[in-house]
Homo-oligomer: A and B are copies of this chain.
Amino acid sequence: MNEANIYKALGDPIRLEMIKRLAHGNDYTISALSSDLGITRQGARKQLQVLVSVNLVRLKQQGRETKVHLDVKTLNIAQQFIAKLERQWESRLLALKDFAEKPQGH
């Protein structure tokens, strides 16, 4: 429920790699997504579950396999939030600049 959890989920090289793959790849199964990550399938599955738990990723079972797909909406929440922080920062800088340029004399 916390914004921090989304960043936390992105904050691991294996999980981030999964997200990268999903962002430009096609229709991964859990196995395909878990391969060539340098860890076991079971290890990868645990990492994948972290992504699921914060809704960065959704699972859909199809027969014996399970497809993984990105939930770009959650990704967008994360991106928007950082963008908002940046805007706050900018407007604060602007305020300071205005103050410096138009000193209210006495």
Contact = CB atoms under 8 A, between A and B. Distances in A.
Interface of A: 2-13, 15-16, 19-20, 23-24, 26, 70, 72, 75-76, 78-79, 82-83, 85-86, 88-90, 92
A69 B35 CA distance: 41
Contact of A3 (B2, B16, B23): B16
B4 A88 contact: no
- Among A9, A20, A23, A78, find the residue whose CB has the most chain B CB atoms closer than 10 A: A23
Nearest to A13: B4
Contacts of A2: 13
SS class, residues of chain A in contact with chain B: helix
Nearest to A93: B72
Nearest to A6: B11
Nearest to A84: B23
A79 B72 CA distance: 14
A4 B13 CA distance: 6
Given A19-B85, A75-B82, A79-B79, A92 B24 contact: yes
